[in-house]
Amino acid sequence: MDYLLILDILGVVSFSISGVLSALKKKMDAFGILIIAFVTSVGGGTLRDVLLGLPVMWMQNLLYVHVIIISTVFAVIFRKKLSYLRKSLFLFDTLGIGLYTVIGVEKGIAQGFSPIICIALGTMSACFGGVIRDILCNEIPQIFRKEIYATACILGGLSYFVLLKLKLPVSLIFIISGLIVISIRLSAVIFKLSLPSIYKKDEDIEDYW
């Protein structure tokens, strides 16, 4: 088992638990919880593989399906241990986007795409599972809010190519780039950083129509 597969599985675990916590918050039944865990963990990767013309990872390797099921059962059983659901959801979601961003970038590089396309693939891998999760849970996706979410993925992807220029070992570049994504996301929440809003305070958008 190569390191990329191991890290991919860690991303699946993180996003599966994130999906379970979102579904539990919405009081879904067992089937709903499993579906949300599934689309959260492999939704972005599926889109990435389709765009790259590659076999969809979880259809080729049932290990992903088994990991999702095990992670879902684990999160449900120990949901009381995973107290403060909002903090737990944020933690696992942040770990997931860090891992998936760099995995997406590396898969793009392996297919010979330019840096900007690789960064876009990394961002989609990290964010679109969460987009599907939020839509199914009747929430506005985090990527479409003013929170620093996709921006963290883009900066992590950029850092990957900067570090490549320094000729560091690929495994070290992977770790540093992933930590950059996680650090930016954590810092944004801790210090309440956000992208500038185009709306004025108390502005009524209906005034424009």
Encode pLDDT of 157-208 as tens digits: 999 999 999 999 988 999 999 999 999 999 988 888 887 777 666 555 454 4
Encode pLDDT of 4-34 as tens digits: 778 788 889 888 988 998 999 999 999 999 9
Between 154 and 14, the more confident residue is 154
Residue 16 backbone dihedrals phi, psi, to 5 degrees: -60, -45
- What Rg value do the Cα atoms of the chain yield, rounded? 17
Report pLDDT for 105. Answer: 96
Task: Give dist(CA 71, CA 139) in Å, integer.
Answer: 23
Closest CA relative to residue 101, chosen from 59, 58, 55, 160: 160
C-alpha torsion angle, residues 10, 49, 45, 30 (rounded to 10): -100
> How confident is the prediction for the chain on average, in pLDDT?
88
Encode pLDDT of 64-94 as tens digits: 999 999 999 999 988 877 655 557 667 878 8
Domain extents in the chain: 3-195
pTM of the model: 0.85
Q: Residue 147, exposed/middle/buried by CB under 10 A (0-12, 13-18, 19+)?
A: middle
209 confidence band (pLDDT: 50, 70, 90): very low
Task: Give dist(CA 97, CA 143) in Å, integer.
Answer: 11
